[in-house]
């Protein structure tokens, strides 16, 4: 709260008054709950003491079950994210053959600024900018999504989301731009518009250098 008080130029006296009122409200709320529900609290405590080890076993079992469920869901999600990636070599062969492939660069502005290169023929589109209009444009196309590196799961995650909307011909690029450049495949230099670099324009596109 002190930083907010400084932002809104709250005087010290007024801040102290607000702080005191908040402390009194917080303490009074818990004191009132304890007073009105004291009988219930005593009863619950007595029951818990009577159960003893059984209560501890129930709590440990519930906690273990929760952890197992979360672990299972994570494993399933990661398995879905690895769905059918396309290798850089395979994408290069398709481009050389003249196949109509829509390539979308999902990197953030910071990633583009750090590595100002892109796969030729691709377009830059933020993951959160894929709306219903974009989905309709991509519905009848072969789409390849790529991000910055193998550690970035944005392309696989967006590919999974697009498949849930009915777009079946969408695949993430295995290894992202880092894998593409590691094979010395062609790239084009790009630079961010000033508005994007300053964080003032969300929809602007990188331009070829």
Identify the pLDDT of residue 87. 92
pLDDT in tens, 68-79: 998 888 777 666
Q: What values do phi and psi take at 144, rounded to 5?
A: -120, 125
Distance (Å, whole) CA 171 – CA 121: 16
The answer to whether the predicted template modeling score (pTM) of the entire model surpasses 0.75 is no
Would you list the domain boundaries of the chain? 2-81, 88-208
Distance (Å, whole) CA 95 – CA 164: 26
Identify the pLDDT of residue 201. 43
Identify the pLDDT of residue 179. 93
Contact between residue 144 and residue 104 where contact means Cβ atoms under 8 Å apart? yes
CATH code of the domain occupying 88-208: 3.40.250.10
Identify the pLDDT of residue 206. 59
Q: In what order do the strands lie in the sheet with 117-118?
A: 117-118, 188-191, 207-208
State which residues of the chain have pLDDT below 70: 50, 52, 77-83, 192-209
* Cβ count near 178 (within 10 Å): 16
């Amino acid at each position: 709260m002190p930083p907010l008080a400084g932002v809104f130029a709250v005087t010290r006296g007024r801040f102290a008054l607000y702080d005191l009122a908040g402390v009194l409200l917080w303490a009074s709320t818990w004191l009132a709950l304890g007073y009105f529900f004291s009988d219930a609290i005593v009863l619950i405590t007595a029951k818990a003491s009577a159960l003893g080890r059984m209560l501890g076993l129930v709590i440990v079992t519930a906690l273990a079950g929760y952890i197992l469920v979360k672990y299972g869901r994570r494993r399933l999600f990661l398995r879905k994210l690895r769905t059918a990636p396309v290798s850089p070599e395979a994408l290069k062969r398709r481009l050389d053959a003249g196949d109509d492939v829509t390539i979308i660069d999902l990197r953030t502005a910071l990633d583009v600024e750090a590595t100002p290169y892109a796969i030729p023929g691709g377009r830059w589109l933020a993951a959160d900018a894929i709306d219903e209009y974009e989905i309709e444009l991509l519905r009848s196309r072969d789409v390849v999504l790529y991000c910055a590196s193998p550690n970035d799961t944005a392309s696989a995650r967006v590919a999974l989301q697009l498949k849930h909307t009915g777009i079946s011909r969408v695949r993430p690029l295995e290894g992202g731009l880092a894998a593409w450049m590691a094979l010395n495949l062609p790239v084009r230099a790009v630079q961010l518009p000033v508005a994007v670099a300053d964080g003032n324009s969300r929809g602007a596109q990188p331009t070829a250098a």
